[in-house]
Structure 1
């Protein structure tokens, strides 16, 4: 029984020692975090915003829930125009801060960072959250009015652009439809012209046929006209003329044979040497 009591006492002493050491470590980290915060503030006051942001980040590495360090880190980012990086720091402060005044300031700065990025809807939301925590802040109320006006203008511009795009699309469709209709009209006109031409050709053919038919309707008249035409008389050739004709034909035949032989010679391919 005594041994058991002794073991329990030793265990309690060890546990208490560890808890005390943990508390000491936590206190030491918090002190270091505050020290780094003060260093960051001095650098910030000298407008050395990059060095200040490094000090604030070191402070947060010792105490991740140190809302003052995260808020000041957001300010350092903001002063360096790193608006996108500043927003998460302000959001962390708004989440961890215990008093409404600090929350209101964090939301106010979120709104300012969003305005710098021309993100007007998130800016409006941030300013509204700031006023919920501090309704008496006239500066936040003024910034909210400006953000709402810019958001309204942005929405109107987007609407106008959309209407313009719709109008352009409608005009294009109307133009395409007109071009298509004009093309169809041209086709119909060409078809009509073709039909009229075919009709004219048929009419001309019919007219010619009528003439031929009328011509063939009176064969006796044609026969009579034929009889009236003077018939060619069959001529008589002398032996001398016949001899000259035969010689002429013979000469022509020789010329023709000579030309044929020349064409055959020209048609033969010349054998060429290979170049490999």
Structure 2
């Protein structure tokens, strides 16, 4: 892991090259160039928050300054380290937005290349390996000789494969556990009936019910016979009266 992190360089190495570019740009204003120079000096002293202020002042002079945007992103990244860009007001989120904008709008291929490269580093540090791969490929399209982007691309591809293997193994493990659970736990309506010790079987229960039914029928017949005899006796007594 230390070797991987050591290869994921951020933006400091490329900032000084942009300093000369900004100073010679005919479309920049003197104040803009001065603020960028000031920011670069502060950046080299690792005073990243102060450098951020200077780069923002440069953007106030020229809101379309690619150099100021890129160097501002550099100062923001240095202040946030490897923190998650999605966590609240983390400076990394703004840095990511600035770099993404530069990949789409900047006409300077070196800026675009470095923006892609550092977006790849940010994605790698967040274990978003698919996105990191796409960003490194973007950097290599702008400069096929970017050896750092190529090496980081290979690392990201290896980490993506490792991540996919882990996900597949976890899915298989979950499926096996679910299968074992289904084997051990049959639904209640599929479980064989349990006969309690000392209870009666289904056959014995049927015999008892049949016996009770026969006794009930016999009792019913006796009641009917007694009722019939009482009716006949009543008619005879009524017939003898004058």
TM-score range, shorter chain: 0.5 to 0.7
The SS at the match of 1:104 is helix
Deviation at 1:148, TM superposition (A): 0.8
Residue 52 (structure 1) aligned with residue 61 (structure 2) = no
Taking structure 1 as the reference length, the TM-score comes to: 0.56
**Structure 1 residue matching 2:201: 3-state secondary structure:** helix
5+ residue gaps, structure 2: 1-25, 82-90, 213-242
Q: How far off its partner does 1:160 sit?
A: 2.0
User: Aligned with 2:32: secondary structure?
Assistant: helix
Task: Give the drift of 1:201.
Answer: 6.0
2:113 pairs with 1:104: yes
Structure 1 residues 148 and 175, CA gap change in structure 2 (3 angstroms): same
Change in 2 beyond 3 A, CA 1:194/1:52:
same
Question: Does 1:185 find its partner at 2:182?
Answer: no
Structure 2: distance between partners of 1:51 and 1:29: 21
SS in 2 for 1:136: coil
Q: Does 1:142 align with 2:151?
A: yes
Superposition pairs for residues 136-175 of structure 1, below 5 Å? 136-175=145-184
1:203 CA drift (Å): 11
Q: Compared with structure 1, are the counterparts of its residues 49 and 168 closer, same or farther at alpha carbon in structure 2 (3 Å cutoff)?
A: same
What are the ranges of 5 or more consecutive residues in structure 1 without an aligned counterpart?
1-26, 206-276
Using a 3 Å threshold, how does the CA distance of structure 1 residues 200 and 92 change in structure 2: closer, same or farther?
A: closer
Partner of 2:95: 86
Q: Deviations over 1:29-49 (max 9, x none)?
A: 822222211111111111011
Query: Are the equivalent residues in 1 in contact too, given 2:70–2:111 (CA < 8 A)?
Result: no
- The equivalent residue for 2:141 is 132
Cα distance in 2 for residues equivalent to 1:136 and 1:120: 22
Residue 172 and residue 159 in structure 1: after superposition, are their counterparts in 2 closer, same or farther (change >3 A)? same
TM-score by length of 2: 0.63
Larger radius of gyration: 1
Q: Which has the higher contact order (CA 8 A, sep 6+)?
A: 2
Summarize deviations over 1:141-176 as a string: whole Å, max 9, x none: 000000111111112222222222222332332232
Query: C-alpha separation between the residues in 2 aligned to 1:157 and 1:98?
Result: 41
**What does residue 70 of structure 1 align with?**
69
Give the aligned length: 175
Report the Cα distance in structure 1 between the residues aligned to 2:127 and 2:140, rounded to whole angstroms. Answer: 21
Q: Which segment is superposed worse, 194-203 or 57-66?
A: 194-203
Give me the whole-angstrom Cα distance separating, in 1, the residues matched to 2:135 and 2:211.
90
Shift of 1:54: 1.9
SS of corresponding position for 1:64: coil
Q: 1:150 to 1:202 in 2, by over 3 A?
A: closer
Tell me how far apart the structure 1 counterparts of residues 153 and 60 of structure 2 sit (CA, whole Å): 34
